Amino acid sequence: METVAAYGSWPSPIDAALAASHDGRPEYLGAVGDELWWTEPRPAEGGRRALVRGTAGGGGAVVLPAPWNVRSRVIEYGGVPWAGAARATGGPLVVFVHFPDQRLYAYEPDGAAGPRPLTPLSATGGGLRWADPRIQLERGEVWCVLEEFTGEGPTDVRRVIAAVPLDGSAAEDRTAVTELSDDRHRFVTGPRLSPDGRRAVWIAWDHPDMPWDATVVMLGQVPVGKGPFTEVRPVVGGDGESVAQADWAPDGSLLFVTDIGGWWEPHRVRPDALGAAASTSLCPGRDEEFGGPLWKIGLQWFHPLDNGLIAVIHGRGTTTLGVLDPATGELTDVAGPWTEWSATLAVRGDRVAGVAAGPHSAYEIVELDTTTGRTRVIGAARHDPVDPAYYPEPRARTFTGPGGREIHARIHPPRHPERTGPQGELPPYAVWVHGGPTGQAPLVLDLEIAYFTSRGIGVAEVDYGGSTGYGRAYRERLRGQWGIVDVEDCAAVARALAEEGAADPARLAVRGGSAGGWTAAASLTTTGVYACATVKYPILDLLGWATGETHDFESQYLESLVGPLAEVPGRYHDRSPIHHVDRIAAPFLLLQGLDDTICPPAQCERFLDRAAGRGIPHAYLAFEGEGHGFRRADTMIRALEAELSLYAQTFGFARPDVPRLELTR
């Protein structure tokens, strides 16, 4: 029996604590001998990342207790933070990055001793950081990306591929670290060693390009003894071509994913053609993505198998796991409920493991047996904490935006097994803007979304122009148009939902974090569509962000998103929400981590100074110990409850179950 109750007021078993406890996903899969290892979030333990060792029963055992935190800060977004190797005696060896000090540590989990440091600390700037490690047991080294600060500024930094001795001789001696590549490029990924051990490939790029704009694959010869790579040269990639991943096939051919044809597609270069770099597309003409944006170092969208087949993650809008036969181009996809596969894969013989989720299931570790085609969940299995009848039923939709352009979105209507809205009342909706802006909203179960939909508030996730998953032309709609196209596309979806009678036009909200926070704030100053906004760790001042208020990785991102600062300085002023606070009439909630080096709190503070005394109801919650994106359970609980209270006060429904958010003017 359904009870009629106002939208937004419905009771729900999905409280903020439950949503926070399920935040995050398994990440960075790796095979250690015949075992599968990965990292998992621990929101209740200060937001640390735990290293987990798969067990025979399909579960996982934590390898390192708190406070060990396996997470890299290279390019601030990090990358693969660990590697493991099986040894003939003594059990496995693990090398990992510890987040607080960013040192590399070695650990033998089957031994009696604890982790021992492999790299030194540095007092300069952000110090020494490491990512994407590869253990070379026969050389007694671990190869990885070294990010080294040379001064106190966020852009005083260099990156090279380096070899760290496994014996600990570099733990207090920086000179014992061997640099394998030079620093001719601003950014590099970790190297991949050819099957014969004679060559290594890696990906590199330079400012002002982002890795989804242009990258190059570098090839180097590996010396017999110690020392840097020799005969280093580019083999594929360059201006206007983004190579997202490169690796070796068992036959010694080079495999890579390039968007030279407008979509990230798998290509191959034969060993005898490496000099000419004449590549062959392995799966042409599908108009799908077989790669994605390289936001973290070491992401994987494909993994070669020993039998010559290739495990691939691919799709358009959504993704699936498939097995590609490079000889015939035949592609066989897995069956199952999963619509999103993270960019991480591990292979053990004929078995491929990945991290996948679907509209009714959160992220879990799934294994495919390529000989039988069968799949099973083998780790981080998600059990429904509440009746799934409280979960939303999301729909992928395409809307029409300005000029007739397509806009992709995921719509999550309100859903409750025992409540319905009053006849004639339309539900409030929140438009969620993903970050990046070169990102995407996955079509998966998210208890943070269910927190709102189970209370009678709809959610619309918009893959605005600039999003990935729909080809290079779609994501390049945002070039020079950030603050225009993203704002227009989100507003177009909100208006369309209202016009078709799905949403109350007077009760629309916009919500986003990071680049999504920028769009949310810009929307308040330009559209008049939204009754309120939740703005999380945002960019609010383009000029400040372009002149030293962010980290090195994105320090020249605005050159493409907005335009060259030297040529169009007016855009940086005219589009920044901080210069148009006088246009804001709707209440807003501003959420910020005080340790954020990507979108620093200084921008929020200047924005609030300009909002003071203007009569705009608003609140500012700043969190100690949080960086870019919230990881701690208590932070996420406070943020969710504050957002719900904002909606209750703005949209006119009662929520006595959450603390009232105090709004100032």
pLDDT in tens, 45-90: 999 999 999 987 777 899 999 999 999 999 999 999 999 999 988 8
CB proximity list for 529: less than 8 A, separation 6 or greater: 491, 494, 495, 508, 510, 523
Per-residue confidence (pLDDT) for residue 56, from 0 to 100? 75
C-alpha distances out from residue 456 to 6, 10, 368, 386, 399, Å:
8, 6, 38, 17, 23
Give me the half-sphere count of Cα atoms (radius 13 Å) on the Cβ side of residue 440. 26
Distance spanning both ends of the chain, measured CA to CA: 43
Domain boundaries defined on the chain: 301-382, 386-542+568-651
CB proximity list for 507: less than 8 A, separation 6 or greater: 426, 427, 428, 429, 531, 650, 651
Contact by Cβ (8 Å): 229, 179? no
The answer to whether residue 276 scores a pLDDT higher than 60 is: no
Average confidence (pLDDT) over 507-524: 98
Closest CA to 234 of 266, 206, 209: 206
Residue 237: strand pairing partners: 216
Per-residue confidence (pLDDT) for residue 16, from 0 to 100? 97
Q: List the single range of 272-281, 389-398, 518-527 with lowest mean pLDDT.
A: 272-281
> How far is residue 149's CA from residue 126's CA, in Å, rounded to a whole number?
6
Per-residue model confidence as pLDDT tens digits over 222-259: 999 899 999 999 999 999 999 999 999 999 999 999 99
Is the pTM for the entire model greater than 0.75?
yes
Q: Is 215 helix (H, G, I), strand (E, B) or coil?
A: coil
CATH number for region 386-542+568-651: 3.40.50.1820
The answer to whether residue 273 scores a pLDDT higher than 90 is: no
Q: How many CB atoms lie within 10 A of CB 277?
A: 15
How large a percentage of the chain has pLDDT more than 90?
94
Report the sign of the C-alpha dihedral through residues 398, 400, 404, 408, in that order: negative
Per-residue confidence (pLDDT) for residue 305, from 0 to 100? 97
Per-residue confidence (pLDDT) for residue 279, from 0 to 100? 84
What is the H or E stretch that residue 524 is in? Answer: helix 515-526
Average confidence (pLDDT) over 264-273: 86
Per-residue model confidence as pLDDT tens digits over 547-571: 999 999 999 999 999 999 999 999 9
Per-residue model confidence as pLDDT tens digits over 566-592: 999 999 999 999 999 999 999 999 999
> How far is residue 73's CA from residue 640's CA, in Å, rounded to a whole number?
26
Q: How many CB atoms lie within 10 A of CB 418?
A: 12
The answer to whether residue 345 scores a pLDDT higher than 60 is: yes
Split at pLDDT 50, 70, 90, the class of 141 is: very high
> How far is residue 139's CA from residue 144's CA, in Å, rounded to a whole number?
14
Split at pLDDT 50, 70, 90, the class of 275 is: low
Q: What pairing do the DSSP bridges indicate for beta strands 192-193 and 93-97?
A: unpaired
Per-residue confidence (pLDDT) for residue 11, from 0 to 100? 97
The answer to whether residue 142 scores a pLDDT higher than 70 is: yes
Contact by Cβ (8 Å): 51, 96? yes
Split at pLDDT 50, 70, 90, the class of 270 is: confident
Three-state secondary structure readout of 244-299: EEEEECCCCCEEEEECCCCCCEEEEECHHHCCCCCCEECCCCCCCECCCCCCCECC
The answer to whether residue 198 scores a pLDDT higher than 70 is: yes
Q: How many CB atoms lie within 10 A of CB 501?
A: 9
Per-residue confidence (pLDDT) for residue 55, from 0 to 100? 84
The answer to whether residue 274 scores a pLDDT higher than 80 is: no
Per-residue model confidence as pLDDT tens digits over 623-636: 999 999 999 999 99
What does the chain come to in residues?
665
Q: How many CB atoms lie within 10 A of CB 286?
A: 15
The answer to whether residue 329 scores a pLDDT higher than 60 is: yes
Split at pLDDT 50, 70, 90, the class of 271 is: low
How large a percentage of the chain has pLDDT more than 70?
99
The answer to whether residue 523 scores a pLDDT higher than 90 is: yes
Structure-block tokens of residue 150: 């040379």
The answer to whether residue 209 scores a pLDDT higher than 60 is: yes
Average confidence (pLDDT) over 336-354: 96
Q: How many CB atoms lie within 10 A of CB 469?
A: 22
Provide the Cα torsion 570, 573, 576, 577; round to 10°: -130
Triad 561, 398, 431: Cα angle to 5°: 65
Per-residue confidence (pLDDT) for residue 277, from 0 to 100? 57
Report the sign of the C-alpha dihedral through residues 625, 46, 75, 538, in that order: negative
Give phi and psi for 559, each to the nearest 5.
-60, -35
Split at pLDDT 50, 70, 90, the class of 333 is: very high
Structure-block tokens of residue 281: 């597309």
Detail the DSSP E strand segments found in 401-494: 406-412, 419-420, 429-433, 458-463
Average confidence (pLDDT) over 335-339: 94
The answer to whether residue 1 scores a pLDDT higher than 90 is: no
